[in-house]
Amino acid sequence: MKEGGRKQGAPSPCAACKLLRRRCAQDCVFAPYFPADEPQKFANVHKVFGASNVNKMLQELPVHQRGDAVSSMVYEANARVRDPVYGCVGAISSLQQQIDVLQTQLALAQAEVVHLRVRQTATLSNHGPAPGSPNNSGSPSSGLMATQMKPIFDMEMVDHTSFGESMWSC
C-alpha cells in the first residue's frame, strides 16, 4: 500500500529525490506527486523547469491545487521534450489545423447533402404530381407551373481523387 508516494514500512525515495540523489524527507514536497515508480515524469519536469523552481512553485500553492499544477508542469515538460521550440503551442496549433480540415470536410459534406436534396426535389417536380393530388387541378396554370419548376442552380460533383477530396463545379 502506498502513502504519499512511498511504501509503508520501507521508506523508498520519491522519483525526485532519487534523481537528485538526496535523502527523501518525511515531508518531501515532491513525494506525493512524483512516485518512485515514475522516474521519467520528474526527469522531464526537472529538465524543463528545474527542481528548485518546481519546489518553489509547489510550496507557494495551497495543497489542494498542487496536483493540478504538477499535471500541468508534466504536460508542458513532455511537450517541450517532444518539441523544444514550440512545446504545447505546437500541439495546440496542430490540433487547430486538424479542426480546420475537419470543418472544411464537414462543409463539403453539408453542401453535398443540399445538392442531393435539390436534385431529388427537381426529379420529383419534373415527374409531376401523382394523379388525384391537390396540385393536379387540371387548370392550364397548374401545368405551366409544373413545367417551370427547375432547380435554382445545377451543380455537378466532380471527383478530384488526386487531391484526396471531392470538389464542386457549377
More confident residue, 129 or 109: 109
Write the pLDDT tens digit of every residue in 27-37.
Answer: 999 999 999 99
Q: Is the distance from CB of 39 to CB of 18 less than 8 angstroms?
A: yes
What is the band of 147 on the pLDDT scale with cuts at 50, 70, 90? very low
Q: Is the distance from CB of 52 to CB of 20 less than 8 angstroms?
A: no
What would the grid cell of residue 77 be? 515538460
Cβ neighbours of 4 (radius 10 Å): 14
Strands 165-169 vs 156-160: parallel, antiparallel or unpaired: antiparallel
Write the pLDDT tens digit of every residue in 103-123.
Answer: 999 999 999 999 999 999 888
pLDDT recorded at residue 11: 65
